[in-house]
């Protein structure tokens, strides 16, 4: 067992406990070899992150190794773009597979040989039924299936037909190779499943070498065995496939028989985890792409400003379970806030600016004030911010007719400007046509520099601001939940897209940000004081900055959790 687990004597989840027990008993010769086996038919999402953290995490914690293996058995849906994106996501999350990058296509010749072995053992046959006929013959959950009329073909005929399938003599769907198991099995996956099908589609790695491809279940079990995987960790939807996994390995002359263990997949509210549905959103233009910051994809979350350690921490917090459940997205946001609060530099930005003129402040006599970069990390130091006669504040921080207990700015009221002075509003200017307030006129108290009054008077409201002299104009994109329904994937008769949130993106132009953000690097995350956490979007260009709201400051989950404690 790893020194980490020995020393800490920590409570292990059921998978880690199993690995620890296997090591203690000497099983697998004291080795731990896991694998993360994505299909390269889409971009990875937060659900895959859980599997990545588990497989690479278990290997790391028990001094083992983890392979990255692409189960690339369906060339009609797989692209190199997806392969590249998966490798990038795994690395960004903080994991490294070293020189252990494999592909099921690496083993196509071996897998084909195993199929021949099954035929020779009388455990596989070539079937001419159409896909619809195979489904009809399969039976139901309460009734057994019906054997194919081609089930009892001779060994010689099956070998000949299978070789002809490989040579390309038949059309797609004209023939398949099926395992011969039990058409009356209570497990539908064991009712003579298809293990090879014809696809006259070039493969992104093998080109036109093959026109027959192994089915996922067949290739997955054999790839695990070929690589010598010790612990094949799968999500719960593969639990019913485990008997087939074992049957394949038990009926072939393999040198390794990994043990499959299932765990609950990650389900999260207000989103969907189906790659098929995510692809639909992309292809229909309902989102801007796989990296749309509203998407649960790793690349989308990265663009939104998520930190890899926040996702890893989230996966640690939710743990590994045997039963399906739905995780509140606010827990993910809570983990993100915890990390950003410690790391993100504080800045001031005004999203919906209103002009403020400080009448008694000297003309053309701006000054520099000192601001703290991060109160959670004093080693982050301070920065200089410009103060001037004309500044901008948030439009919501002024009220012409303030309600009771309103502690921000109104005519005759006084507020504290963050890091600066007390100001009092004395008058307003409105647009002649619209009646909208366009300018505030205020006075300041020079004795209150730094935000404290020498005469001891109290001011309850503190607001943020930026100087008009050297502020940065920027576009800010405010993101919200992609769906309005808590579990859109549950929709049976309704189109899940009918629950898309038409308010999930708000674009605000001509926001005013402090000058320190003028050359902020793409991907950098900041806390805009009082507003939330924002990151620099890849669309940013010199002189045309774009920021995405990563997450708001409000932490409902954290507050509820603290109350429960």
Question: Is 275 a catalytic site residue?
Answer: yes
User: According to the model, what pLDDT value does residue 9 have?
Assistant: 46
pLDDT in tens, 47-92: 999 999 999 999 999 999 999 999 999 999 999 999 999 999 999 9
Calculate what percentage of the chain has a pLDDT beyond 70: 96
Contact 166, 200 (CB under 8 A): no
Q: Is the pLDDT of residue 3 over 80?
A: no
| 164 sits in which H/E element | helix 155-167
Q: Cα–Cα distance between 93 and 49 in angstroms, integer?
A: 8
Q: What separation in angstroms does the CA of 137 have from each of 21, 133, 149?
A: 43, 6, 10
Strand, helix or coil for residue 34: strand
| Catalytic site residue from 153, 180, 275, 389 | 275
| Catalytic site residue from 16, 39, 60, 389 | 39
Q: Is the pLDDT of residue 370 over 80?
A: yes
Q: How confident is the model at residue 221 (pLDDT cuts 50, 70, 90)?
A: very high
Q: What is the DSSP string of 479-545?
A: E--SBSSS-GGG-SSS-GGGGB-TTSEEEEEEEEE-GGGTTPPTT-EEEETTTEEEEE-TT-BTTBE
Laid out side by side, the sheet with 422-430 consists of 462-463, 414-417, 422-430, 437-445, 353-358, 390-394, 466-467
Q: Is the pLDDT of residue 5 over 80?
A: no
User: Smallest Cα–Cα separation from 343: which of 559, 539, 535?
Assistant: 535
| 260 sits in which H/E element | strand 259-263
CA 323 to chain centre: 21
Per the structure block, which two tokens stand in for 85? Answer: 């994106």
User: According to the model, what pLDDT value does residue 113 have?
Assistant: 98
| Catalytic site residue from 265, 294, 386, 416 | 265
Q: How confident is the model at residue 562 (pLDDT cuts 50, 70, 90)?
A: low
pLDDT in tens, 147-181: 999 999 999 999 999 999 999 999 999 999 999 99
User: According to the model, what pLDDT value does residue 1 have?
Assistant: 41
User: Where does residue 458 rank: exposed (0-12), middle (13-18), buried (19+ CB within 10 A)?
Assistant: exposed
Q: How confident is the model at residue 271 (pLDDT cuts 50, 70, 90)?
A: very high
The mean predicted confidence, pLDDT, of the chain is 94
Q: How confident is the model at residue 557 (pLDDT cuts 50, 70, 90)?
A: low
User: According to the model, what pLDDT value does residue 492 have?
Assistant: 67
Measured torsion, CA atoms of residues 376, 379, 385, 391, in degrees rounded to the nearest 10:
0
Q: Where are the alpha helices (DSSP H) in 9-98?
A: 14-25, 46-61, 80-92
- Which domains does the chain possess? 3-265 (3.40.50.620), 275-345+474-564 (2.40.240.10), 349-464 (2.40.240.10)
User: According to the model, what pLDDT value does residue 555 have?
Assistant: 75
Contact 400, 425 (CB under 8 A): no
Spell out where 162-216 has E strands.
176-179, 194-198, 212-214
What is the number of residues in the chain? 565
User: According to the model, what pLDDT value does residue 124 have?
Assistant: 98
Per the structure block, which two tokens stand in for 462? Answer: 């503190």
User: According to the model, what pLDDT value does residue 273 have?
Assistant: 93
Q: How confident is the model at residue 14 (pLDDT cuts 50, 70, 90)?
A: very high
User: According to the model, what pLDDT value does residue 4 have?
Assistant: 45
Q: Is the pLDDT of residue 6 over 90?
A: no
User: Where does residue 109 rank: exposed (0-12), middle (13-18), buried (19+ CB within 10 A)?
Assistant: exposed
Contact 376, 385 (CB under 8 A): no
Q: Cα–Cα distance between 561 and 385 in angstroms, integer?
A: 37
pLDDT in tens, 424-434: 999 999 999 99
Q: Which of 87-101, 146-160, 359-373, 500-514 has the lowest mean pLDDT?
A: 359-373
Mean pLDDT, to the nearest integer, of 195-199? 98
Torsion 391-396-397-400 (CA) sign? positive
Per the structure block, which two tokens stand in for 477? Answer: 């994109």
């Amino acid at each position: 067992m790893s020194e980490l687990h020995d020393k800490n004597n920590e409570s292990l989840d059921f998978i880690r406990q199993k690995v620890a027990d296997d090591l203690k008993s000497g099983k697998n010769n004291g080795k731990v070899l896991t694998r993360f086996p994505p299909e390269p038919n889409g971009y990875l999402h937060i659900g895959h992150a859980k599997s990545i953290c588990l497989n690479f995490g278990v290997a790391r914690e028990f001094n083992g190794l983890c392979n990255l293996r692409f189960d690339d058995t369906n060339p009609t849906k797989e692209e190199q773009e997806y392969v590249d994106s998966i490798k990038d996501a795994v690395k960004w999350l903080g994991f490294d597979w070293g020189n252990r990058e494999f592909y099921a296509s690496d083993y196509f010749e071996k897998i084909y040989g195993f199929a021949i072995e099954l035929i020779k053992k009388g455990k596989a046959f070539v079937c001419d039924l159409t896909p619809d006929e195979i489904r009809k013959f399969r039976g139901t959950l309460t009734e057994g299936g019906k054997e194919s009329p081609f089930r009892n073909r001779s060994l010689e005929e099956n070998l000949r037909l299978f070789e002809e399938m490989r040579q390309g003599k038949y059309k797609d769907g004209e023939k398949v190779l099926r395992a011969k198991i039990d058409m009356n099995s209570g497990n539908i996956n064991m009712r003579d499943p298809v293990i090879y099908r014809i696809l006259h589609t070039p493969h992104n790695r093998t080109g036109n070498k093959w026109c027959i491809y192994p089915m996922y279940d067949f290739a997955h079990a054999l790839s695990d065995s070929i690589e010598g995987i010790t612990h094949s960790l799968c999500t719960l939807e593969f639990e019913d496939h485990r008997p087939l996994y074992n049957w394949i390995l038990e009926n072939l002359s393999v040198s390794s028989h990994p043990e499959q263990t299932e765990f609950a997949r990650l389900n999260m509210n207000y989103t969907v985890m189906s790659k098929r549905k995510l692809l639909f959103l992309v292809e229909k233009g309902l989102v801007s792409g796989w990296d749309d910051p509203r998407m649960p994809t790793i690349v989308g979350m990265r663009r939104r400003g998520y930190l890899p350690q926040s996702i890893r921490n989230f996966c640690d917090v939710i743990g590994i379970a045997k039963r399906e459940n739905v995780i509140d997205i606010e827990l993910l946001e809570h983990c993100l806030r915890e990390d950003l609060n410690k790391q993100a530099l504080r800045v001031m930005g005004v999203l919906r600016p209103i002009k403020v003129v400080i009448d008694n402040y000297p003309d053309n006599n701006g000054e520099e004030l000192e601001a703290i970069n991060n109160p959670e990390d004093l080693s982050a130091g301070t920065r200089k911010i410009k103060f001037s006669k004309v500044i901008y504040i948030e439009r919501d921080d002024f009220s012409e007719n303030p309600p009771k207990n309103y502690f921000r700015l109104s005519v005759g009221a006084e507020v504290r400007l963050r890091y600066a002075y007390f100001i009092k509003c004395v008058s307003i200017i409105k647009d002649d046509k619209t009646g909208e307030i366009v300018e505030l006129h205020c006075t300041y108290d020079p004795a209150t520099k730094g935000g404290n009054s020498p005469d001891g008077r109290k001011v309850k409201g503190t607001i943020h601001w930026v100087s008009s002299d050297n502020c940065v104009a920027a576009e800010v994109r405010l993101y919200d939940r992609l769906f309005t329904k808590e579990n859109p994937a549950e929709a049976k008769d309704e189109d899940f897209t009918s629950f898309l949130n038409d308010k999930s993106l708000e674009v605000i132009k001509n926001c005013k940000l402090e000058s320190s953000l003028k050359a902020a690097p793409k991907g950098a995350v900041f806390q805009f004081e009082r507003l939330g956490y924002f990151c620099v979007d890849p669309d940013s260009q010199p002189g045309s900055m774009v920021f995405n709201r990563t997450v708001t400051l409000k932490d409902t989950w954290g507050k509820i959790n603290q109350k429960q404690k």
